[in-house]
C-alpha cells in the first residue's frame, strides 16, 4: 500500500508541476496568447495539457482502487501481485502520454528562446516589406545584433533591442517582413509581425524602400500599407523612406510620388486623431539611409517624441490624473500694469564679456588635432613637441645612439666632462699627499730602520690580502686534508723554527697542537659510578647521559649543521635535501622492499586461500 501511494504521489507531483508551469492562454496578455497560437497552434497545446491532466486523474483513481484491494488482500502473494498490477497500470498510462510530453518539451525549449517583450512599456515597432532595412536600423540605434543579409526573410522571428531617449528606456522590436497577400495565405513568420502590430501599444515605423533594390516596387509597398492600415489605428505612425543614398525622394517618378503622398495623408489622419496639428507633414514622412547613417537619429527621436506625447495624452485623459492634479498648484504672478519690463544688463557688462570672449583663445587639445588629421588610427601624437630645447627646430631631430665612437646616453648630463675632471684632480691631490707622507717618514729613518719598515709594510699588505680572502670566502673555504701534506712540509718542528726566528717562544703552541692531535679516552664519571645504587627511576637519565657521551665521543656534528665539503649551499638546503631523501624512500619502505633494485613479486594467489572445499555462506574472504 505504501509503495502504491508513494508512486501515485510522485506521478501526481510531476504532472501537476508540468500543468502549472506552462502558461494558461486565458491568463496571459493577448499578445502572448496570439503569439503562442501562431507558433504552436492553440488547440494542440490545450489538447496536450488536457491529456496530461487526464493521465494525472487516472493514476489517482488507479491508486485509490488498488489501495482498497490491498487492504483486503488475503495473502502476501496476492498483495505483491496487486502492487505489481497497480504500478504497471500507472506506467502504462504514463507511456500513453509520451507524444504529448515530447510535444510540450519542444514547446518549452522554443519558448525559452523567445525574446522577452514587455507589452506595457514604451515600444517602437518596425514593419514593412522584406529587405527594406529594418534590421539595419535596429542595429544602428540599439545594441541588438540582428543578422543582415541581401536577401528576403533573413529575419524569421521577433527581435528586441533597447535604446534611450530623454533618460527613458525604449523597447525597439524588429518584425519579419510582410507580403501583400490575403490573411489566410500568410505563413507563421508573417503572422508574428501581424500579431505584434495588432496587440502592442507602440509607435509604428513603416519602412519604404524608394530605391526598389529590395525587389518590390513602391506600388507594391503602398498596397501593403493600405491592406494593414487598420492595424495602425490609435498608434503614432511614421513613414520612413529608406536607402536615400541610392535614390532620393525628389528623384522618384510622379506616380510613385502620388502613392507616397497618399500614405502620408493616411499617416496625417493618425496624427490629427491624437490631437496633433496638421502641418506640412514633416513629422510623419522622414527620409534616411542606414548605410551612411544620415537621418537615423532623427527618425529615432521623432518616433520616441510621438510615442511620449501620445502616452502623456492618454494619461491626462484618464481618471487617475484628477487625483494627481489635486496635489499640484502652479502659481503665476499677476501683472501690476501694462508695462513690459525686459531683463536689463548694463552695457559695460556686455562689452566686458564680449572683450573677454574675444581674448580667450580656445586651446587646441590632442582630440581636436586627432580629428583634424584623419581621426583615430591615422593620427599619431608626437611626444617630442614638449621637449625643452634651446632651439625649437631641434625637437623633431632623430637622436643618434653612437656619435664619434661614443655612446650618446653616456653624455646626456651636460656637466659630465667637468665633473670627471674634478674627480681626477681630487684623486691626484690625494695621491700626492700620500707620497709626501711616505717620503717624509722614510727620510727621517736610518737605512736599517727603512729596511725593517719595508718588511713590515710588506707583511702588513700580505695580512690585509689574506684577511680579505678569508672574509670573502669564509663559508666556502675547504678544509685541507692530511693527504695534502705528503712531503711533511707543514710540521710542528717547522712551525717552532719559524716562531723562534721571529723571537717568540714556540713551546706552548707545540703543546696545544699535540694535545689536539692526541686521541682522548672517555673516562668514567663519578656520577656514573654512583648510579648503581640509585633507584630504577634514574635509568632514563643514565641512558640519556650515556648516549650523549657516546655521541660526543664520535665528534659527529648535528644533521642540520653545515659541514664544509658536503656540497650544500647552506643549512636550509641541507635540511631540505634530507627531507626529500627521507620522503623518496617512504613508498619503498611501505612495500617492504630491501632497496631500489628489489623487484620481488610475491605470490598473488596463496595456496591456503585458494585450495580446498568452500562451505556455505559468504566467500568474500577468498
Q: Which of 43-52, 330-339, 508-517 has the lowest mean pLDDT?
A: 508-517
Query: Quick one: pLDDT at residue 438?
Result: 63
The gap from C-alpha 145 to its chain's centroid, in whole angstroms, comes to: 22
* Bridge-based pairing state of the strands 159-165 and 168-174: antiparallel
Structure confidence at residue 534 as a pLDDT band (50, 70, 90): very low
Residues 535-546, mean pLDDT to the nearest whole number: 53
Report yes or no: 571 and 561 within 8 Å, Cβ to Cβ.
yes
Report d(CA 555, CA 133) in Å as an integer. 96
Residue-wise pLDDT for 410-448, tens only, equals 777 777 778 888 888 888 888 887 776 666 566 677 888
Helix (H, G, I), strand (E, B), or coil: what is residue 32? Answer: helix
Asked if pLDDT for residue 540 goes beyond 60, the answer is no
> pLDDT category, 523, cuts 50, 70, 90?
very low
**pLDDT given for residue 563 in this prediction:** 75
pLDDT class for 475, splitting at 50, 70, 90? low
How far apart are alpha carbons 587 and 115 in whole angstroms?
Answer: 61
Q: Which of 52-61, 355-364, 380-389, 497-506 has the largest mean confidence? A: 52-61
Mean pLDDT value across residues 457-468: 84
Query: Computed over its alpha carbons, how large is the radius of gyration of the chain?
Result: 53
Query: Above pLDDT 90, what percent of the chain?
Result: 15
Question: Which of the four pLDDT bands, split at 50, 70 and 90, describes residue 530?
Answer: very low
Q: To the nearest 10°, the Cα dihedral for 449, 454, 460, 464?
A: 160
Per-residue pLDDT of 248-272, as tens digits, reads 888 888 888 888 888 888 888 777 6
The SS3 of residue 12 is helix
Q: Residue 330 — φ and ψ, nearest 5°?
A: -100, 115
Nearest to 494 by CA among 505, 481, 506: 506
Cα(607)–Cα(622) distance, rounded to whole angstroms? 11
Nearest-10 crossing angle of helices 98-113, 42-71: 130
pLDDT at 517 over 70: no
Per residue in 235-254, pLDDT (tens digit) is 888 899 988 888 888 888 88
Give the separation between CA 30 and CA 21, rounded to whole angstroms.
Answer: 18
Judge whether residue 535 has pLDDT over 60: no
Place of cell 528576403: 152
CB-based burial label for 235 (10 Å; 0-12, 13-18, 19+): buried
Is the pLDDT at 543 greater than 60, yes or no? Answer: no
Answer yes or no: is pLDDT of 359 > 60. yes
Whether 171 and 117 have beta carbons less than 8 Å apart is answered as yes
**The residue to which cell 514547446 is assigned:** 107
What band does 381 get if pLDDT is binned at 50, 70 and 90? Answer: confident
CA dihedral for 547, 551, 554, 559, sign (positive or negative): positive
DSSP states along 51-78? HHHHHHHHHHHHHHHHHHHHHT-SSHHH
Higher pLDDT, 612 or 352: 352
Spatial CA neighbour of 69 closest among 51, 54, 52, 84: 84
pTM score, two decimals? Answer: 0.49
**Mind listing the pLDDT tens digit for each residue in 129-186?**
888 888 899 998 888 888 888 777 788 888 899 999 888 999 999 988 888 888 777 8
pLDDT per residue as tens digits for the range 300-335: 999 999 899 888 888 888 777 777 777 777 788 888
Report, as an integer, the average pLDDT of 39-68: 90
Q: Is the pLDDT of residue 610 over 60?
A: yes
Res. 514: pLDDT tops 80: no
- Report the distance separating Cα 48 and Cα 96, nearest Å: 12
Amino acid at each position: 500500500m505504501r509503495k502504491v501511494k508513494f508512486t501515485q504521489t510522485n506521478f501526481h507531483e510531476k504532472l501537476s508541476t508540468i500543468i502549472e508551469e506552462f502558461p494558461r492562454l486565458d491568463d496571459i496578455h493577448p499578445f502572448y496568447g496570439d503569439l503562442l497560437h501562431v507558433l504552436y497552434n492553440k488547440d494542440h497545446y490545450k489538447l496536450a495539457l488536457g491529456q496530461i491532466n487526464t493521465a494525472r486523474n487516472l493514476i489517482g483513481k488507479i491508486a485509490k482502487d488498488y489501495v482498497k484491494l490491498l487492504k483486503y488482500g488475503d495473502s502476501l502473494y496476492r498483495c505483491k501481485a496487486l502492487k505489481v498490477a497497480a504500478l504497471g497500470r500507472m506506467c502504462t498510462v504514463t507511456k500513453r502520454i509520451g507524444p504529448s510530453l515530447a510535444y510540450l518539451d519542444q514547446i518549452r525549449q522554443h519558448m525559452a528562446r523567445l525574446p522577452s517583450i514587455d507589452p506595457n512599456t514604451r515600444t517602437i515597432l518596425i514593419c514593412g516589406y522584406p529587405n527594406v532595412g529594418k534590421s539595419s536600423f535596429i542595429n544602428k540605434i540599439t545594441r541588438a545584433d540582428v543578422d543582415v543579409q541581401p536577401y528576403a526573410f533573413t529575419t524569421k522571428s521577433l527581435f528586441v533591442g533597447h535604446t534611450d531617449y530623454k533618460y527613458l528606456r525604449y523597447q525597439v522590436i524588429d518584425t519579419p517582413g510582410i507580403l501583400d497577400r490575403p490573411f489566410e495565405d500568410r505563413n507563421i513568420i508573417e503572422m508574428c509581425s501581424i500579431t505584434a502590430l495588432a496587440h502592442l501599444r507602440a509607435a509604428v515605423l513603416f519602412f519604404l524602400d524608394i530605391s526598389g533594390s529590395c525587389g518590390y516596387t513602391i506600388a507594391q509597398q503602398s498596397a501593403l500599407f493600405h491592406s494593414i492600415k487598420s492595424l495602425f489605428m490609435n498608434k503614432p505612425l511614421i513613414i520612413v523612406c529608406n536607402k536615400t543614398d541610392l535614390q532620393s525622394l525628389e528623384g522618384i517618378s510622379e506616380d510613385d510620388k502620388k502613392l507616397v503622398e497618399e500614405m502620408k495623408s493616411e499617416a496625417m489622419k493618425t496624427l490629427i486623431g491624437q490631437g496633433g496639428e496638421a502641418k506640412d507633414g514633416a513629422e510623419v514622412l522622414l527620409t534616411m539611409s542606414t548605410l551612411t547613417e544620415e537621418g537615423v537619429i532623427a527618425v529615432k527621436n521623432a518616433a520616441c517624441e510621438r510615442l511620449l506625447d501620445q502616452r502623456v495624452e492618454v494619461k491626462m485623459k484618464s481618471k487617475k490624473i484628477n487625483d494627481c492634479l489635486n496635489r499640484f498648484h502652479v502659481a503665476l504672478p499677476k501683472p501690476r500694469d501694462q508695462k513690459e519690463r525686459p531683463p536689463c544688463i548694463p552695457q559695460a557688462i556686455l562689452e566686458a564679456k564680449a572683450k573677454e570672449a574675444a581674448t580667450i583663445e580656445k586651446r587646441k587639445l590632442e582630440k581636436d588635432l586627432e580629428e583634424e588629421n584623419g581621426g583615430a588610427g591615422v593620427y599619431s601624437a608626437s611626444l617630442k613637441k614638449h621637449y625643452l630645447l634651446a632651439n625649437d627646430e631641434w625637437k623633431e631631430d632623430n637622436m643618434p645612439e653612437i656619435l664619434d665612437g661614443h655612446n650618446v646616453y653616456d653624455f646626456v648630463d651636460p656637466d659630465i666632462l667637468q665633473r670627471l675632471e674634478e674627480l681626477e684632480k681630487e684623486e691626484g691631490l690625494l695621491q700626492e699627499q700620500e707620497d709626501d707622507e711616505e717620503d717624509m717618514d722614510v727620510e727621517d729613518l736610518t737605512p736599517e730602520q727603512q729596511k725593517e719598515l719595508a718588511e713590515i709594510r710588506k707583511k702588513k699588505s700580505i695580512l690585509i690580502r689574506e684577511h680579505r680572502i678569508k672574509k670573502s670566502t669564509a663559508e666556502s673555504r675547504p678544509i685541507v686534508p692530511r693527504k695534502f701534506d705528503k712531503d711533511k712540509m707543514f710540521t710542528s718542528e717547522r712551525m717552532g723554527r719559524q716562531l723562534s726566528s721571529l723571537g717568540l717562544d714556540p713551546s706552548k703552541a707545540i703543546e696545544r697542537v699535540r694535545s689536539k692531535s692526541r686521541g682522548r679516552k672517555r673516562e668514567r664519571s663519578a656520577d656514573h659510578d654512583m648510579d648503581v645504587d640509585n633507584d630504577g627511576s634514574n635509568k632514563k637519565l643514565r641512558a640519556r647521559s650515556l648516549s650523549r657521551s657516546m655521541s660526543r665521543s664520535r665528534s659527529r656534528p648535528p644533521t642540520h649543521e653545515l659541514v664544509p665539503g658536503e656540497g650544500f649551499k647552506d643549512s636550509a638546503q641541507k635540511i631540505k635535501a634530507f627531507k626529500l631523501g627521507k620522503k623518496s624512500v617512504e613508498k619503498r619502505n611501505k612495500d617492504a622492499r630491501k632497496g631500489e633494485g628489489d623487484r620481488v613479486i610475491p605470490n598473488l594467489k596463496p595456496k591456503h586461500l585458494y585450495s580446498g572445499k568452500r562451505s556455505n555462506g559468504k566467500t568474500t574472504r577468498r
